[in-house]
Chains A and B, each alone.
Chain A
């Protein structure tokens, strides 16, 4: 049995760097943030080291509460809109002939891999007061004066849907691709209409992919602060902006409290996802 012992020592040795790295840079650093959220502001290193719940009490102040609720609302709306565009897209894409599907997949990968700053920058140009979109609408005679498109909440919402849509399409399409379509055909043969077959067979069977997509869209949508800077004109709309502003004014404890809250929401979403039968493997799309 000495070889067994030697083997397991070897495996432990292999795992060691990952254990250490994860402990220091993920576990300790996140725990440290949570710890900071229970402290007051201090002079020297930004915190005073004394336990307090004041930061969490401050979350009820309108300046925070309003943004938190707004951020949740935008995240939910983004998820719903991404779902209603991304799932049909994923479905239709998966039902294409293999050749056409490869083409669409490749067309999807390019925007997905393009830096989101670049893509959002494109929207910034498009939406400007005398930018291409307004000029186009004016030339069509649809509007007389340029509309205020940029620096609105609508622009931020558009940017969120735009940036996160691929994260809904990919898992949806994968799920539909794995679906055994003969089951749907059987339902149709037995007299179910196309809609009934879709909602009673296709949707339940592809639910894991659909839910993974929702989680993948919802979680990051709370934190995309740069979207707000570029399309929303810097108004504070998302939790991410609150955190960024607090970091800028060196209020680390309050920034930590908001991060801890976001971590809690993230944990709750993932727990809910697991509870309804989602696997975490689905969440790492690659």
Chain B
């Protein structure tokens, strides 16, 4: 029995090491004091790449601003569209007792963006935006990102809606509430956590997206992932390492915060159950 435990731990550790290896390399090199063009020799510790980054060298600041702008607008629009869509579809199903075929079809088309290879979507957005004469880079990015953010919000809200106690809606209706009132006072408050986690996911996906943005974006500096790609495609720049390290740190903090909030919520629920 004990031997099995050791083997299992060893396997898990090795795979995790494999997953972290390149991340550690990126972080360690961000502190490498080697000014060579391809700085592979580790010659000592420095924080100069971070200082340069914060001094605005390389123009990563504007890329970050664009990424944040695009993510913000895409999340806002996908939250509105996805939430209302999910609520409308599930409510209609509840009232009539069966899902309409139109809704089912629409749902499978709406979630295609997160099922098919990204490059196809990139090409599709590129040609449709060109055909429609949509030229502004920011608006192109927002339209594209909104499209692939909608499924995350929609699926998150839908799964919450499906598990909701329908007696609430019936009671509200029997007491004379209009659907608008039910939406405002019952559905949306109960869906709030699902909307929030959908929005969180959508935000992360938008910030992370490279492939689709690559095809949608015209000439210029672009979003953060686009900028990183153009600086590391051919060479190694330790300033990028510093930037990547900061991004990894941001991810780590967000994940830790999320875990902490979940633990707090679970504890609260346990206490409620006991009471």
Interface, chain A (partner B; CB < 8 A): 4, 6-8, 10-15, 17-19, 21-23, 25-30, 32-33, 36, 45, 85, 88-89, 92-93, 95-96, 102, 104, 106-111, 113-126, 128, 130-132, 162, 165-166, 219-220, 222-223, 225-226, 229-230, 240, 243-244, 247, 252, 255-256, 259, 262-263, 266, 270, 280, 283-284, 286
B66 within 8 A of A: no
Contact A286 B152 (CB under 8 A): yes
Q: How far is the CA of A6 from the CA of B177 in the complex (A)?
A: 13
Among A6, A162, A284, which residue has its beta carbon within 8 angstroms of that of B155? A284
- What secondary structure prevails in chain B residues at the interface with A? helix
**Are A106 and B21 in contact (CB-based, < 8 A)?**
no
Q: Which residues of A contact B155 (CB under 8 A)?
A: 284, 286
Q: Which of A6, A88, A219 contacts B179 (CB 8 A)?
A: A6
Q: Besides A15-B85, A252-B127, 8 other CB < 8 A contacts?
A: A11-B91, A14-B85, A15-B106, A89-B15, A121-B244, A162-B19, A225-B119, A286-B201
B182 to chain A, nearest CB (A): 9
Contact A240 B117 (CB under 8 A): yes
B123-182, CB < 8 A from A: 123-128, 130-131, 143-144, 146-147, 150-152, 154-156, 179-180
Which of the segments B23-31, B47-55, B267-275 contacts the partner chain?
Answer: B23-31
Check A219 against B95 for contact (C-beta < 8 Å): no
Binary flags per residue of B58-79, CB closer than 8 Å to A gives 1, else 0: 0000000000000000000000
Q: Which residue of B lies closest to A194 (CB)?
A: B4
- The one of A33, A113, A283 in contact with B123, judged by C-beta atoms closer than 8 angstroms, is A33
The one of A107, A125, A229, A243 that contacts B233, using a Cβ cutoff of 8 Å: A229
Q: Are A125 and B29 in contact (CB under 8 A)?
A: yes
Closest to B80 in A: A17
Nearest CB to that of B232 among chain A residues? A121
Q: How far is the CB of B140 from chain A (nearest CB, A)?
A: 11
- Chain A, Cβ-Cβ closest to B111: A284
Which 7 A-B pairs give the minimum distances between C-beta atoms? A122-B22, A18-B85, A14-B88, A223-B117, A15-B88, A29-B128, A223-B119
Q: Is the CB of A230 within 8 A of B233?
A: yes
Q: Give me 20 A-to-B residue pairs in the complex whose CB atoms sit less than 8 angstroms apart, sorted by A's number.
A: A12-B88, A17-B80, A18-B154, A93-B12, A95-B8, A106-B259, A110-B255, A111-B19, A113-B254, A114-B248, A118-B244, A125-B236, A162-B18, A166-B19, A222-B117, A230-B233, A266-B115, A284-B151, A286-B197, A286-B201
CB-defined interface of B100-119 with A at 8 Å, one 1/0 digit per residue? Answer: 00010010111111111111
Least Cβ–Cβ distance between B83 and chain A, in angstroms: 9
* A263→B122 CA distance, assembly (Å): 13
Please name the residue on chain B nearest to A14 by beta carbon.
B88
Cα–Cα distance between A93 and B228 once the two chains are bound (Å)? 33
Q: Is B196 an interface residue (CB 8 A)?
A: no
A25 proximity list for chain B (CB < 8 A): 125, 128, 143-144, 146-147
Instruction: Tell me the complex Cα distance, A21–B124, Å.
Output: 14
Q: Are A124 and B232 in contact (CB under 8 A)?
A: yes
**A248 vs B214: C-alpha distance in the bound complex, in angstroms?**
12
Chain A nearest CB: distance from B44 CB in Å?
16
Within 8 Å CB of A280, what residues of B? 108, 111
With contact pairs A30-B112, A114-B247, A284-B114 given, residues A119 and B119 touching in the complex (Cβ less than 8 Å):
no
Q: A6-B179, A27-B109, A120-B22 are in contact. Are A259 and B123 (CB under 8 A)?
A: yes
Contact B25 A122 (CB under 8 A): yes
A263 with B116: in contact, given A29-B128, A109-B255 (CB under 8 Å)? Answer: yes
In the assembled complex, which residues on chain B have CB atoms less than 8 Å from the CB atom of A10? 179-180
Task: List A contacts of B20 (CB < 8 A).
Answer: 107, 111
Which of A8, A17, A106, A121 is close to B255, meaning CB atoms less than 8 Å apart?
A: A106
On chain B, the residues within 8 Å of A263 by CB distance are 116, 120
In angstroms, Cα B61 to Cα A210, docked, is 42
Knowing A22-B109, A222-B117, A226-B210, the reply to whether A247 touches B123 (Cβ < 8 A) is yes
Please determine whether B229 and A226 come into contact, CB atoms closer than 8 angstroms: yes
* Of the residues B110, B211, B256, contact of A223 by C-beta under 8 Å: B211
B 185-243 contacts with A by CB, 8 A: 197, 201, 204, 208, 210-211, 214-215, 225, 228-229, 232-233, 236, 240
- Quick check: A219 and B106 within 8 Å, CB to CB? no
Chain B residues lying within 8 Å of A32, measured Cβ to Cβ, are 124, 127-128, 131
Complexed CA–CA distance, A124 and B229 (Å): 12
In the docked arrangement, what's the CA distance between A27 and B117, Å? 15
Most buried by A among B82, B147, B256: B147
Residues of B with C-beta under 8 A to A284: 111, 114, 151, 155
Residues of A within 8 A of B228 (CB): 115, 117-118, 121
